[in-house]
Structure 1
Amino acid sequence: MKEYLKSAYLMTIIGLTILTGFSVAARAEQMATSPSPAENLIFILDASGSMWGQVEGKAKIAIAKEVLTDLIRDLPDNAVVGLVAYGHRRKGDCNDVEELVPFRAIDKKRLIRTIKSLRPKGKTPISRSVRLTADRIKGQENQTTIILVSDGKETCDPDPCRLVKKLKATGIKFVMHVIGFDVTQEERVQLECMANAGGGQYFTAGNAGEFLNAAREVVKKSTLPFGILKVRVKKNGKPFHTFVIVTNRESGKRWSPGSSSGKTGIALIRLSPGRYDVELKDTGVSGGKAPVVHLKDIVIVAGETVERSADFSGGRLVITTLLNGKPFPTTIFYYRQGEKKPFHNVQTHPRTGKTSRKLLLGTYRIEVPCSSIVGRPTVVFEKLEITPGGTTDRTANFSAGEVTVAATLDGKPFNTPFEVYDKTGKKIYGQWTLGRVKGRRLVRLSEGTYTVKVKNIRNTKQFRMFENLTVTAGEEKTITAAF
């Protein structure tokens, strides 16, 4: 009975460790997400000579084999699993570390067969087994859970805890959980330090009752039904890496459970059933608001995969400027919606009145002023949405008439000042009649009614008033002030 209880305790501990490794974090919402639906797991098994030691009349290696065999049978069929062991071939050899089953799609029969064939013999080179394991996973996009099962501390290298810290600092994506099986307090200190350094937890077969309730809670959370959100992200036709921000529409909770792969552009997010909004940003854009893709009202159903796409390729904006229905050149100012400073300006083509520009995904404000018309009237396009691969066309139409203001003095062309007032009496323009042709100035005015006052520069008491001057689009008029 005692042997059975000891085995049951160990199975509970390892089972808890695996379930912990298969979650993303301890909180319920975070545990409902993971970088990938396929689980990455590597066992490091102590097969040193001390594993022949007995617990309640049964060899520790025999208990470990039984527990691991049962657990491997229950692992998901899409899991990615490897097995490393140490001390199983030669006595007194610190290099007796071997990858027995390569880190790849799970082969349950091979794993079980390999574990059952182990015969403990040698030392406890924990550091070297951890280093070998890290080498195997250093190129992995997704996080790998490492489970170290040991009945003692390092016997070859000085500080395995420091090694784990260094490996984490290099950016290798792993969490390490450590199971101390029938260890002393001194041995526990070292093993627990490794678990903490690896971002995981330490468990011991000696205090199963202490965390029995926690194990039940972890099992409960780990068996929640999940659905998968698969987002394919690209930019300019190529896979694109960016973070995925998820908002639960019911609770309002917002978090980032993962990111898309730079190699494939795919993000696989595990979510509990419900409705979500998703946001992805092109954080590589500087000098303004980053382009954002919003994926709205995504319904996640247990056991199903929902696929969405996010394209940061941008689109094209074509602006055409017309004056009285004919193309003319003017300057276009580009703003990101909500910003006060334009990030670009360009002039439309003098013959076609067009400009075409490729823009990043997002919302824009476009200002098209016509500086050749008095008062510089401006057409504004608000909240222009640039969609992936799409073309947005807008036309800025201006209408105006032309008034030539001329002045003569004793019958000869005369350069003198004049002013233009709108119908409210507000002065909107002032200039001299000296234009391209001496004594004449062409003025372009929007449709409306105006007053023009021409002054005699030689005699300030003299002026000519042209009131109720009607300007019609496309028409030309000439007024002459004779002094």
Structure 2
Amino acid sequence: MVFSGVWGRAVAAVALLSLAGSMVTADCTEDAMIVFDGSGSMAEMGFNQIGEPRIFDARRAVRIALPQIAPNRRIGLIVYGPGARSDACSGIDLKFTPRTDAAAPVIAAIDGLQPEGQTALTEAVDLAARTLDHTRKPATIVLVTDGKETCGGQTCALAAEGVATTVHVIGFKVRGDHFGWQGQNDYSTTISVAECLAAETGGEYVNTETVDELVAAMERTLGCALLY
């Protein structure tokens, strides 16, 4: 149906407001850091209702999302898990600080990632905040994780201590404990321990299971509102 005149303008205005309400409201003058889970659990499959390693879908999502996001804001990347030196929790790698047009280096880093090591997400987020100089200027951190902190970090204490930046947390195929007596295993999705980082810093927590959901979550937390 085609509307014209006053009614047409009214319908168009309502549609525009609806679209704007669904868009991300991030300020893209703020630098952002992606903190990406590269721990060994990203390679898990088979016993927790995951048909192939999480990293496969994560790579696909990054290839789709980043070319749409990166032209509009400066983005940096930290990966935790692989490359441990002194112990399994020491693999925290600052790939690069926020830069313009970061899609290609982010995609290359995630495509080349071979998951291993433990989940030192608290220390990785702390490094991201310090890299962004969080006590002096606003910024955004987007943590992509499949669940738990396994390196003893006090995740919620980090938020309570005042990481003065917005932390969004994307839980990707997060699972509960999979052990149970007499085969009664819990394969259900659950909430990452890092949810408190989002709650305490004014960010969002988003649970995702599919490539499309992960793409949408990255666009929502890293993307920018359209200006008309």
TM-score (ref. length: structure 2): 0.69
1:93 positional shift: 2.0
Work out which of the two has the higher radius of gyration on C-alpha atoms and give 1 or 2. 1
AA paired with 2:151? C
Q: Which residue does the alignment assign to 1:53?
A: 44
1:140 positional shift: 7.6
AA paired with 1:146? I
1:143 positional shift: 2.7
Q: 1:196 to 1:207 in 2, by over 3 A?
A: farther
Matches of 1:195 and 1:79, distance apart in 2: 21
1:57 positional shift: 2.0
The answer to whether the 8 Å contact 2:25/2:224 transfers is: no
Any residues of structure 2 matched to 1:156-171 within 5 Å, and which?
A: 156-168=151-163
* 1:397-430 residue CA offsets vs partner (Å, 9 max, x unmatched): xxxxxxxxxxxxxxxxxxxxxxxxxxxxxxxxxx
Q: 1:164 to 1:112 in 2, by over 3 A?
A: same
Matches of 2:116 and 2:50, distance apart in 1: 21
AA paired with 2:129? A
* 1:328-352 residue CA offsets vs partner (Å, 9 max, x unmatched): xxxxxxxxxxxxxxxxxxxxxxxxx
Q: Once superposed, which parts of structure 1, at least 4 consecutive aligned residues long, lie more than 4 Å away?
A: 139-142, 222-225
Structure 2: any 5+ residue segments left out of the alignment? 1-21, 178-189
Q: Which residue does the alignment assign to 2:199?
A: 196
Any residues of structure 2 matched to 1:201-350 within 5 Å, and which?
A: 201-206=204-209, 225-226=226-227, 302=228
Q: 1:71 to 1:140 in 2, by over 3 A?
A: farther
Matches of 1:84 and 1:207, distance apart in 2: 22
The answer to whether the 8 Å contact 1:46/1:124 transfers is: yes
Q: Which residue does the alignment assign to 2:73?
A: 79
Matches of 1:225 and 1:183, distance apart in 2: 31
TM-score (ref. length: structure 1): 0.35
Q: What count of residue pairs does the alignment treat as equivalent?
A: 185
Q: 1:206 to 1:116 in 2, by over 3 A?
A: closer
Q: Among 174, 177, 201, which residue is 2:168 paired with?
A: 177
1:165 positional shift: 2.2
3-state SS of the aligned residue for 2:123?
A: helix
Q: Which has the higher helix share?
A: 2
1:118 positional shift: 0.6
The answer to whether the 8 Å contact 2:143/2:169 transfers is: yes
1:121 positional shift: 0.9
AA paired with 2:206? F
3-state SS of the aligned residue for 2:69?
A: coil
Matches of 2:91 and 2:68, distance apart in 1: 29
The answer to whether the 8 Å contact 2:144/2:171 transfers is: yes
AA paired with 1:159? Q
Q: 1:224 to 1:122 in 2, by over 3 A?
A: closer
* 1:60-83 residue CA offsets vs partner (Å, 9 max, x unmatched): 011111101211111142411011
Any residues of structure 2 matched to 1:445-456 within 5 Å, and which?
A: none
Q: Which has the higher strand share?
A: 1
Structure 1: any 5+ residue segments left out of the alignment? 1-18, 25-33, 227-301, 303-483
> What do you get for the CA RMSD once the two structures are aligned?
3.1
Q: Which residue does the alignment assign to 1:367?
A: none
Q: 1:206 to 1:118 in 2, by over 3 A?
A: closer
The answer to whether the 8 Å contact 1:48/1:123 transfers is: yes
The answer to whether the 8 Å contact 2:118/2:150 transfers is: yes
Q: 1:140 to 1:68 in 2, by over 3 A?
A: farther
Between the two structures, name the one with larger relative contact order (CA 8 Å, sep ≥ 6): 2
Q: Which residue does the alignment assign to 1:126?
A: 121
3-state SS of the aligned residue for 1:95?
A: coil
> Is 2:64 aligned against 1:70?
yes
Matches of 1:114 and 1:128, distance apart in 2: 20
Q: Percent identity?
A: 27
